[in-house]
């Protein structure tokens, strides 16, 4: 869509990376606008994103390096509890408990907000208070709900959470809508529908994320 509509926008793109695990960065070398000189990329991460993406695009993993991308690139190091102003929007971030740490983002613009919190493991002693504060009153909370309760007992410390903790966080934060995210690769559509229904019994305005889903605020 960015390529199709490139004549209708500035071409200034802002990319926020939650963390550097392979499943979250492997698409970057195939991001077409990054190769187009009329685009500019501002890339934000709590880690050295330039080094991370450069190493990913180096032999023997990829045929061309980061310098083959024609778009102007600027890299920004997030400080853990900062905020970034982009146009009329404000993006706040906090660290999340995950192997090598992840980052949660709250995006606010024109009176609406969305919180994106994955990959993260819940606090066994209660709700993650920092995350509940970040998500306070948000219109949409997108949260890591990878495991069932039974699966989580075998995956403690792997850095992911459950739909029950997603619901608890949404209730504590007073979120208006909950989106269950980071589905386990072993879960088929039937399993996800069962998880969605179970969550809806506790927090009715819950939806399991789907391919192609669009959220209007």
Could you tell me if 84 and 44 are in contact, meaning their C-beta atoms sit under 8 angstroms apart? yes
Question: Comparing 49 with 2, which gets the higher pLDDT?
Answer: 49
What percentage of the chain reaches a pLDDT higher than 70? 99
Chain mean position to CA 56: 20
Q: What is the pLDDT averaged over residues 105-129? A: 92
Residue 158 has pLDDT above 90, yes or no: no
Q: What's the confidence (pLDDT) of residue 11?
A: 87
Q: What is the pLDDT averaged over residues 143-160? A: 91
Query: Distance (Å, rounded) from C-alpha 46 to C-alpha 23?
Result: 17
Q: pLDDT digit string (tens) for 24-48?
A: 999 999 999 999 999 999 999 999 9
> DSSP letter at 166?
H
Q: What's the confidence (pLDDT) of residue 82?
A: 81
Q: What's the confidence (pLDDT) of residue 196?
A: 97
Mean of all residue pLDDT scores within the chain: 93
Residue 18 has pLDDT above 80, yes or no: yes
What strands, in cross-sheet order, belong to the sheet with 140-144? Answer: 83-86, 89-96, 102-109, 112-117, 140-144, 178-181, 206-208
Q: Which residues contact 171 (CB under 8 A, 6 or more apart)?
A: 202, 203
Q: Which of 50, 105, 55 is nearest to 82 (CA)?
A: 105
Query: Distance (Å, rounded) from C-alpha 201 to C-alpha 156?
Result: 25
pLDDT band, very low/low/confident/very high, at 85 (cuts 50, 70, 90): very high
pTM of the model: 0.92
Half-sphere exposure of residue 153: CA atoms within 13 angstroms, side-chain side:
2
Q: What's the confidence (pLDDT) of residue 100?
A: 84
Give one word for 150, left, alpha or beta, with left for phi > 0 and alpha for psi -120 to 50. Answer: alpha
């Amino acid at each position: 869509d960015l390529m199709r509509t490139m004549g209708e926008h500035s071409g200034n793109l802002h990319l926020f990376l939650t963390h550097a695990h392979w499943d979250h960065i492997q698409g970057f070398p195939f991001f077409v606008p990054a190769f187009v000189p009329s685009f500019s990329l501002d890339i934000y991460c709590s880690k050295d994103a330039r080094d991370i993406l450069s190493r990913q695009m180096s032999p023997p993993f990829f045929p061309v390096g980061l310098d083959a991308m024609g778009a102007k690139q600027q890299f920004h190091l997030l400080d853990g509890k900062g905020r970034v102003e982009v146009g009329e929007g404000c993006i706040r971030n906090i660290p999340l408990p995950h192997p090598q740490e992840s980052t949660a983002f709250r995006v606010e613009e024109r009176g609406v907000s969305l919180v994106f919190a994955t990959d993260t493991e819940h606090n066994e002693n209660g709700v993650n208070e920092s995350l509940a504060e970040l998500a306070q009153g948000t219109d949409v909370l997108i949260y890591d709900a990878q495991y069932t309760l039974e699966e989580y007992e075998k995956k403690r410390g792997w850095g992911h959470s459950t739909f029950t903790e997603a619901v608890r966080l949404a209730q504590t934060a007073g979120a208006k809508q909950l989106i269950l995210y980071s589905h386990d690769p072993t879960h088929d559509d039937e399993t996800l529908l069962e998880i969605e229904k179970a969550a809806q019994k506790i927090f009715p305005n819950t939806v399991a994320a789907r391919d192609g889903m669009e959220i209007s605020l």
